Amino acid sequence: MPATSSRHGTLLRVPWVLVHFVIGYGAILALIFVPYIQTLAVYGHHRGFSATPNFSSPEDYGLAPGKAVNLYITSADNTTLGAWFVTSETYYRSLPFPVQTIDIPVALKQRPTILFLHGKSGHRAIPRRIAVYSALSSRLNANILAVDYRGFGDSEGSPTIAGVASDARAAWDFLFVHGARPQDVLIVGHSLGTAIAALLAAELGRDSISPLGLVLLAPFASLRTVIHEYYILGFLPLFKPLAMAPALTRFLLGLATHPFDTLGLLPNITSSVLIAHAEDDGAFPHAHADMLFDAFLELIPATSPIPSNMDSVARQAELRRRLATVQEIPGFGKLEEAQRGERKFALLKTVAGTHDILRVEGVQDVMGRMFNLI
Ligand SMILES: *[C@@H]1O[C@H](CO)[C@@H](O)[C@H](O)[C@H]1NC(C)=O
Ligand SMILES: *[C@@H]1O[C@H](CO)[C@@H](O)[C@H](O)[C@H]1NC(C)=O
Ligand SMILES: *[C@@H]1O[C@H](CO)[C@@H](O)[C@H](O)[C@H]1NC(C)=O
């Protein structure tokens, strides 16, 4: 009886599929919360892209000869960090060809500088980052300091939140020691680097130092939010099966080893802030940019109370309506801007651009205009 036996077979197989699924799910959940695995997953610093880059030769990676210099910065705990200083187009063009040496203090005096805090994996010499230095040094005519956090590239050590935060601070101090004025340094973070940029901006805020501004490109609101929304292999929602167990969910999220929490830092950030996110970003949903922008708007004192019967969605819409001006840029995106005294908050949403949004010229230009670089 072939029909019966096949039905029988299916019935027997179903529970096994379920058992495998539950075991697999449990294993993935357990693995994700192993600190070592979290460190690798969050920073991806073990992924180098090219064999061993010759960091002392930025020319090998496409930068004009003599335009960039490889240097080493010592972090607060004596960890040595590799970095590149790329000069602005104006300064580079002012030097006799072929360029022999660059004078960092002179370059810093001539043009504003971008402290670039890169995202996860790779190092300062990977092609998509080189493309960013080329664009920012020419299109925005800015100097760039690109630092590899501990554990990345040829920097010593391995990454922790406190460690990478002190590395960003060491890069800031390097500029300061070489004569840069805080109001001439724009802190730009991309992806994971937005959380590090926010840590630096909050630390400077606490020290009453005002940088030119803070730019958060393709940011995430907090790492716990990201883990909570995570889809295994892009389609299996990690925390969906635990929706009925909020206490367990909270407990598991509490195990995050590197709980970057940009949202929590906002009150201590005192500079102007630009947030940019592409709607087709595949790494972090652009709702993260909204969460951050709305949290900044909440810092602006209300002129009249917002009705208490509004839910959070309606409240955010009302805050935007009251505080932000909206500019539609045809074919490109939408720019919302708000002002609090001297400070400006802006949210740029682009229709396209993916996660690698800093290579988008329109985004570079909005940055340039907002911070008077162009
Ligand atoms: C790396 O580049 C520097 C500067 O161009 C050069 O002197 C050195 O020989 C290079 N090192 C290697 C291993 O190729
Ligand atoms: C870093 O090195 C310097 C000089 O070698 C030393 O004086 C200082 O105590 C060290 N700091 C730490 C935190 O190890
Ligand atoms: C913000 O700064 C104040 C001191 O100015 C400090 O007490 C507080 O802990 C800081 N908040 C965060 C989230 O770092």
Q: Whose CA is nearest to atom 13 of ligand 1?
A: 54
Q: Which atom of ligand 1 sits closest to the CA of residue 54? A: 1
Q: Which residues pair with 188 in a beta bridge?
A: 116, 215
Supply the pLDDT for residue 242: 74
22 and 79 inside one domain: no
Give the mean pLDDT of 52-67.
94
pLDDT at residue 144 greater than cutoff 90: yes
User: Is 233 a member of any domain?
Assistant: yes
134 and 20 inside one domain: no
Supply the pLDDT for residue 50: 59
| Ligand 3 neighbour 207 (Cβ under 6 A) | no
28 and 59 inside one domain: no
Smallest-distance ligand from the CA of 53? 1
pLDDT at residue 59 greater than cutoff 90: yes
230 and 297 inside one domain: yes
Give the mean pLDDT of 307-321.
90
Q: Which atom of ligand 2 sits closest to the CA of residue 76? A: 13
Supply the pLDDT for residue 9: 53
| Ligand 3 neighbour 202 (Cβ under 6 A) | yes
| Ligand 1 neighbour 65 (Cβ under 6 A) | no
Tokens of 326: 């909206």
Share of the chain above pLDDT 70, in %: 93
> Distance between CA atoms of 85 and 102, rounded to whole angstroms?
10
24 and 153 inside one domain: no
Smallest-distance ligand from the CA of 75? 2
Pocket, ligand 2, Cβ cutoff 6 A: 77-78
Burial grade of 221 (CB within 10 A; 0-12, 13-18, 19 or more): buried
Q: What is the pLDDT of residues 203-226, one digit of tens each?
A: 999 999 999 999 999 999 987 777
- Which of 52, 55, 57, 70 for mutating ligand 1's site (highest number of atoms within 8 Å of CB)? 57
Q: Which of 121-125, 191-195, 307-311 has the lowest mean pLDDT?
A: 307-311
Q: What is the DSSP letter of 358?
A: G
Smallest-distance ligand from the CA of 54? 1
232 and 99 inside one domain: yes
25 and 62 inside one domain: no
Tell how far the Cα of 57 is from the centroid of ligand 1, in angstroms.
6
CA of 297: how far to CAs of 32, 150, 324, in Å?
A: 34, 34, 8
pLDDT at residue 167 greater than cutoff 80: yes
pLDDT at residue 157 greater than cutoff 50: yes
User: Is 287 a member of any domain?
Assistant: yes
CB atoms within 10 A of CB 235: 6
Give the mean pLDDT of 230-256.
72
138 and 283 inside one domain: yes
CB atoms within 10 A of CB 255: 14
- pLDDT tier for residue 259 given thresholds of 50, 70 and 90: confident
- Where residue 184 sits, what CATH number does that domain have? 3.40.50.1820
Give the mean pLDDT of 101-128.
96
Smallest-distance ligand from the CA of 76? 2
pLDDT at residue 3 greater than cutoff 50: no
Angle 80-86-87 from CA coordinates, rounded to 5°: 135
281 and 360 inside one domain: yes
User: Is 139 a member of any domain?
Assistant: yes
pLDDT at residue 2 greater than cutoff 60: no
139 and 19 inside one domain: no
Burial grade of 177 (CB within 10 A; 0-12, 13-18, 19 or more): exposed
Would you say 347 and 183 are in contact if contact means Cβ atoms under 8 Å apart? no
346 and 225 inside one domain: yes
User: Is 148 a member of any domain?
Assistant: yes
Burial grade of 142 (CB within 10 A; 0-12, 13-18, 19 or more): buried
Supply the pLDDT for residue 10: 56
Supply the pLDDT for residue 249: 75
Residue range(s) defining the domain that contains residue 79: 55-245+260-370
Supply the pLDDT for residue 11: 54
Tokens of 271: 């500079």
- pLDDT tier for residue 5 given thresholds of 50, 70 and 90: very low
Tell how far the Cα of 53 is from the centroid of ligand 2, in angstroms.
29
Buried b (16+ CB within 10 A) or exposed e, 191-218: bbbbbbbbbbbbbbbeeebbbbbbbbbb
Supply the pLDDT for residue 269: 96
| Ligand 3 neighbour 264 (Cβ under 6 A) | yes
Its pTM stands at 0.90
Angle between the 361-370 and 127-139 helix axes, to the nearest 10 degrees?
50
Average pLDDT of the residues of the chain: 90
* Total domain count, the chain: 2
pLDDT at residue 1 greater than cutoff 60: no
CA of 87: how far to CAs of 10, 132, 264, 306, in Å?
A: 67, 13, 34, 48
User: Is 251 a member of any domain?
Assistant: no
Q: What is the pLDDT of residues 272-305, one digit of tens each?
A: 999 999 999 988 999 999 999 999 999 988 788 8
> Distance between CA atoms of 83 and 69, rounded to whole angstroms?
8
9 and 131 inside one domain: no
- Which of 73, 74, 75, 78 for mutating ligand 2's site (highest number of atoms within 8 Å of CB)? 78
